[in-house]
Amino acid sequence: MREHHAQARVRPSPETSWHSKARDLRAEPLDRLDAERGRELVKQALLPATRTDGALVEEIWRLFIDSGYFELAGRSVAWFESRRASFIELGRRAPELSRLLCQAAWTSERGVEATFSVMKPYRSLWLTHQLAKRQGGSRFERVPGQMLRDLYTCMVAHAQGDPGFRWLAAYIESTVPFIHRAHVGFVERMAGTGRVLLRPLRMLDVTCDAPSGQDARGLEVGPATAGERALLAEEISRTRPACYVEALDLGPEALDLEEAARPWRAAGLERERHVVVARRGRTPVAAAVLEVGPLGTNPFRLLDSARLFPLSAGGREAYPALLDAARRWYARRGRDGFVFLSEEDGDAEAARLRDEAPEAKPYLWVIPSDLAPGFLEHIHEQTVSRLPTANTEKEPS
């Protein structure tokens, strides 16, 4: 049995006295460390099968292999092998990095049955990712659906422990039945609020050693100037929902990502954003927003991502040149590739890229933090009856 100890100050609720019943007392942690220990105590009591101590990270990697998680989006186990060491190293550090990430394992007597993770790539957004589940694990549940409920509860509760938590997000694969019911179904229920986002996209792997071979056609490509960054922020705000702009730190006040990157760097981890602009003469025509994150955060390298935005009519003609500049930027940071998040129809074709998994239907899913409790209720509803065991439920981010 794992033991956890935390100190707290016990005091009556403001409207009660010391003579009130014990249920009117409240415990306040003495500091942040005791607050985290207190949350771990509560989690251990409420979710005894769920572990977040980093001790099972190698078993989690094995689960990815056994469950077929690595075969999503046309990938093979061999493609991921070079990422294994960094994933194991960061996973073991996860308990000390709780302000940035958390990795949960749902266990039984045969080992890790399922896993789910969450991380904080932006100032106020927590991103859930890498959900995978072993076949046959449901027979170890005390009640049907317990495994997925426990994992979602654990990850959402972790995000709720952050005072700055404002957005919950995921890159989801909507063709997975449970993911569709859970994530797409909840956003459809909340669509009337106007505060949720379900944006289709294509997630395309780009290798650094295979340039486009396209003629730059008189384009100049280089780091964005202050004026060009302001123009880009204005264009993003004009063409994207407000929740997208705020959640992904793409507004003018956060475009440099400095505030979001600071805690990662303080922990000795890489986190950076770079904006590159293509110009025809002195006129900016398109921009690329490039991000890099620590190796090991996600096997599909979600934090090593690029987004492209046109800044003028015909701007998409510059996409191949911008991706070539991105290839060079990522290669200088020791990456062999990155993910192009193609958000508009025709962007992949304009960039001269081929979708290796056209059957996939990924989405960017975002909800405000105050809807997170309702989302957990929705998860409970979707898992009340036992899920089919013939297919492994998994989610490719």
Instruction: State pLDDT tens for residues 171-188.
Output: 999 999 999 999 999 999
The pLDDT tens digits of the residues spanning 233-269 come to: 999 999 999 999 999 999 999 999 999 999 999 999 9
SS3 176: coil
**For residue 2, is pLDDT > 60?**
no
In this predicted model, which residue has the larger pLDDT, 348 or 21? 348
Model pLDDT, residue 334: 96
- Split at pLDDT 50, 70, 90, the class of 76 is confident
Model pLDDT, residue 91: 97
**For residue 96, is pLDDT > 50?**
yes
Tokens of 130: 């890498």
The pLDDT tens digits of the residues spanning 137-154 come to: 999 999 999 999 999 999
Q: Can you say whether the dihedral through the CA atoms of 226, 227, 232, 235 is positive or negative?
A: positive
Per the prediction, the chain carries an average pLDDT of 89
Rounded to 5 degrees, what angle do the CA atoms 267, 271, 275 make? 160
Q: pTM surpassing 0.85?
A: yes
Between 32-46 and 146-160, two packed helices, what is the crossing angle to 10 degrees? 170
Compute the distance between CA of residue 247 and CA of residue 240 in angstroms, rounded to an integer. 11
Report the Cα 31 to chain-centroid distance in Å. 28
Among the residue ranges 14-23, 33-42, 267-276, 306-315, the one predicted with the least confidence is 14-23
Cβ neighbors of 46 (< 8 A, separation 6 or more) are: 153
Length of the chain: 397
Q: Which domains does the chain have, with CATH numbers?
A: 33-200+362-395 (3.40.630.30), 203-350 (3.40.630)
- Split at pLDDT 50, 70, 90, the class of 372 is very high
Compute the distance between CA of residue 179 and CA of residue 187 in angstroms, rounded to an integer. 12
Compute the distance between CA of residue 306 and CA of residue 272 in angstroms, rounded to an integer. 12
